[in-house]
Structure 1
Amino acid sequence: MKKNILYLHGYKGSLTPSKQIILEDYGHVVAPAIVYDHPGYFRKLTVLASSADIIIGSSFGGHTAHLLSLLYNKPALLFNPAFVTKSPVPDLSGLAIPKTKTSHSSIVLGKLDDVIIYKDNLKFVTNNLHLEDVRIIEVDDLEHRIPDDVFAEQVAVFMEART
């Protein structure tokens, strides 16, 4: 069954056409252009996240996807999520974002990431995320940017586990 997929790009990024094609094999893709420096970006994304079946994000989009997946208890696939950055900070005022959820999360961490430092991110994930169903995938030769082959492989594994 085709899914509604919400894809959240990284800071000043976008969903590449090749990754869009990969995701379209699994469902209808919504990939909004996000200005993370705009204070209201998170509220706008809540509308899209509420109707998504799966939320996928990369870098700062991974951090945002995690928060939205907690808010709506949705499965999430996060690539090098920016858990250990200081800015931008989403406006979460008035939102009751739980610390845990029961739906699955997969977190792909590149050991060669020099933007979101792998060891710092792994430490944060291990010490701060209290998810019932989480899979941490550590990729030895992965940097911050996700090559299409790695993206396709991780999306396939994630989607296969969801069916």
Structure 2
Amino acid sequence: MNILYLHGLESKLNEAKRVRLQKYGKVFAPNIDYHNIPNAIEWVLGKYADTKFDAVVGSSMGGFAGYYISDKLDVPALLFNPALKTRSTFQQVPEINRNSSAFKQLVIGQRDPVVKPADTLNFLGEHLNGQTDLHLHLRPEMEHRVPLDCFEQELKTFFKRI
């Protein structure tokens, strides 16, 4: 299984999370300069044009990119605090594929001061398409950073479903 991992704005995939992801397959984790690549989604798709992915995992800005890449590639996505409604740096937003049926598991930290949970929920409500198998996990204990135990639990749940 090939897994595309997309990090957040000022982040990278740390070794502990990489080890957890590698239990499920081969991990591809590009370093994305969101500040200087205003079309990160197309950049990632171009970089891996010859790679078949089976799942996308992303956090924050990577969750934003993963949301759309999941639709473009029609693969399941696990997204932590995805910056869907607003972002602190400009990114081109592609058209939403209204016919997408890719499974998406969104994990939202209810105490997140960076990506406001209400903004994410409003975005999802505004863009429901009746096709996507969407699972929301609202985590009252979680802020913006995803603790390792939460990451591991959500990975386990996600990969059981797909």
Superposition TM-score, scaled by structure 1 size: 0.89
CA contact (8 A) 1:109 1:122 kept: no
1:74-128 alpha-carbon deviations (Å, 9 max, x no partner): 1000000001214433346xx7651341121000001000000112211212222
Which residue matches 2:84?
83
Distance (Å, rounded) in 1 between the aligned partners of 2:92 and 2:123: 21
Q: In structure 2, what residue type is equivalent to 1:63?
A: F
Q: Kindly tell me: are residues 100 and 108 of structure 1, through their superposed partners in 2, closer, same or farther at Cα, counting changes over 3 Å?
A: farther
State the distance in 2 between where 1:135 and 1:102 align.
13
Q: How many residues align?
A: 158
Tell me the secondary structure at the aligned position of residue 79 of structure 2.
strand
Question: How is 1:49-88 mapped onto 2 (pairs within 5 angstroms)?
Answer: 51-88=52-89
What amino acid is aligned across from residue 4 of structure 1 in structure 2? N
State how 1:14-163 maps to structure 2 within 5 Å: 14-37=12-35, 38-47=37-46, 48=48, 51-91=52-92, 97-130=96-129, 131-162=131-162
Gaps of at least 5 residues in structure 1 are none
Whether the aligned pair in 1 keeps the contact of 2:111 and 2:143 (CA below 8 Å) is: yes
Distance 1:136 1:85 in 2: 19
- Closer, same or farther in 2 for the Cα pair 1:40/1:124, shift >3 Å? closer
Unaligned runs of 5+ in 2: none
C-alpha distance in structure 1 between counterparts of 2:76 and 2:154, whole Å = 14
String of CA shifts for 1:31-87, please: whole Å, max 9, x gaps.
010001223533221142752110010000000000111111110000000012144
Q: Secondary structure at the match of 1:106?
A: strand
Report if the CA contact (8 A) 2:41-2:68 is conserved. no
Q: TM-score, normalised by structure 2?
A: 0.89
- State which of 10, 13, 21 in structure 2 corresponds to 1:12: 10
CA-atom RMSD in angstroms: 1.8
Q: Which moved more, 1:145-154 or 1:127-136?
A: 127-136
Identity %: 34
